[in-house]
């Protein structure tokens, strides 16, 4: 949809939604925070976007949208690709990423949604579908689960036909992590792939030692073994281990992804479409990964990530955290824009993002 067809931005409204998690991610993570962002255009089409943060910063994100971003975008052309860079440059004084890009994502998504709604096309249709379906892997925020609950979750994944599952490690004595990974591997069997996620909990030496012990379980990847900002550390770790390294959910700009590729920090990139600032920068990151021959598997939010994955030229996988989909959390006012069955995701073809919040 062209800028001239949508006209200019005439309004921006936000609403903060707290969504209790069906399965808490820990004693301190019992709910998600979603900031609905509605952008009105001269054409009469209203775009529905959102920003998201599980724990920290929701009120800051909403404040940036309600003040700095609204003041800048009103009266400007309603074209996501044209608006993104000048808006980022305007906000850069407050930080190049984090709250800045999370807030920007709400506007970027709303404009892509408006473009799709205006021509009754899904975002996948706007971008150009490259495939009819993409694979989905089962993921759990389960570090706090006792062993019997962890095994039960792994059994649910196996029963659902997932061919790749991911579990949390770190935060336990290494011997306990070994026992937990062994139990999940036994439950899912030798034919399923198993990935592990340390959520930035290890030092370089700790990661090397832990992966040395855990690699016997035939790991698909180790995710965020070190602090996400330590790209050189991840590159050093890659030279010491045989397990592929995944990174990206906590990188906030295309520049950091370009640096990660340049220094050899990761085998797999996992951009979160909200944290990087929306669909516009996500597409730039996907192009970088494609050019470098690096795997790209978007982080979380399958209702949105799945639609973007369907438009990628190279095969990708979509993460589905158990009981954390928008539909399962009661966030949707209308049917979901994607369908997940038999470990595969397909689009339902709803216009725009197809995400209308309740």
Enter the tokens of residue 222.
């180790």
- Residue 67 DSSP label: I
Whole-angstrom distance, CA of residue 339 vs CA of residue 350: 11
Q: Where do the DSSP E strands lie in the chain?
A: 9-20, 31-41, 46-53, 134-139, 164-168, 193-197, 219-223, 245-247, 268-269, 295-296, 317-321, 338-341, 344-347
Enter the tokens of residue 197.
């996620």
Q: Which among 33, 168, 234, 297 is annotated as catalytic?
A: 168
Task: Estimate the share of the chain in helix, then strand, then coil, as percent rounded to the nearest 5.
Answer: 40, 20, 35
Query: Closest Cα partner for 328 from 78, 67, 56, 23?
Result: 23
Q: What are phi and psi of 292, to 5 degrees?
A: -90, -5
- Residue where the block lists tokens 């399965």: 23
Is residue 168 annotated as part of the catalytic site, yes or no? yes
Q: Is 269 exposed, middle or buried (0-12, 13-18, 19+ CB in 10 A)?
A: buried
- Radius of gyration of the CA atoms of the chain, in A: 20
- Residue 77 DSSP label: B
Q: Between helices 80-91 and 99-119, what is the axis angle to 10°?
A: 160
Q: Which among 234, 252, 297, 299 is annotated as catalytic?
A: 299
Is residue 166 annotated as part of the catalytic site, yes or no? no
Query: Closest Cα partner for 243 from 205, 285, 199, 213?
Result: 213
Q: Active-site residues: which are they? A: 168, 299
């Amino acid at each position: 949809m062209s800028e001239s067809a949508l006209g200019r931005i005439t309004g921006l409204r936000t609403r903060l939604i707290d969504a209790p998690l069906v399965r808490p991610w820990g004693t301190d993570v019992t709910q998600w925070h979603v900031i609905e962002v509605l952008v009105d255009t001269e054409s009469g089409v209203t775009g529905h976007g959102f920003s998201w943060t599980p724990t920290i910063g929701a009120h800051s994100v909403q404040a940036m949208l309600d003040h700095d971003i609204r003041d800048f975008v009103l009266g400007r052309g309603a074209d996501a690709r044209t608006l993104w860079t000048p808006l980022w440059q305007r906000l850069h004084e407050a930080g190049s990423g984090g709250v800045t890009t999370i807030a920007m994502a709400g506007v970027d998504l709303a404009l892509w949604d408006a473009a799709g709604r205006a021509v009754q096309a899904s975002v996948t249709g706007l971008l150009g579908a490259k495939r009819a379906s993409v694979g989905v892997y089962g993921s759990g925020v389960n570090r706090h689960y006792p062993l019997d609950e962890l095994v039960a979750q792994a059994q649910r994944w196996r029963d659902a036909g997932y061919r790749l599952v991911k579990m949390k490690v770190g935060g336990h004595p290494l011997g306990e992590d070994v026992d937990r990974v062994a139990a999940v591997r036994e439950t899912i069997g030798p034919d399923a792939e198993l990935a592990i996620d340390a959520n930035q909990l290890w030092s370089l030496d700790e990661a090397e030692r832990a992966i040395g012990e855990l690699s016997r379980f035939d790991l698909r990847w180790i995710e965020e073994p070190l602090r996400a900002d330590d790209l050189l550390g991840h590159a050093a770790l890659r030279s010491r281990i045989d397990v592929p390294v995944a990174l990206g959910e906590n990188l906030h700009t295309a520049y950091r992804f370009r640096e990660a590729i340049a220094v050899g920090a990761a085998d797999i990139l996992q951009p979160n479409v909200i944290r990087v600032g929306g669909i516009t920068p996500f597409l730039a990151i996907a192009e970088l990964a494609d050019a470098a021959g690096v795997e790209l598997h978007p982080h979380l939010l399958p209702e949105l990530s799945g639609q973007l994955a369907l438009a990628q030229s190279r095969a990708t996988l979509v993460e589905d955290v158990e009981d954390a989909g928008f539909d399962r959390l009661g966030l949707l006012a209308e049917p979901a824009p994607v369908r997940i069955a038999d470990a595969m995701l397909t689009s339902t073809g709803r216009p725009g993002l197809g995400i209308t919040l309740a």
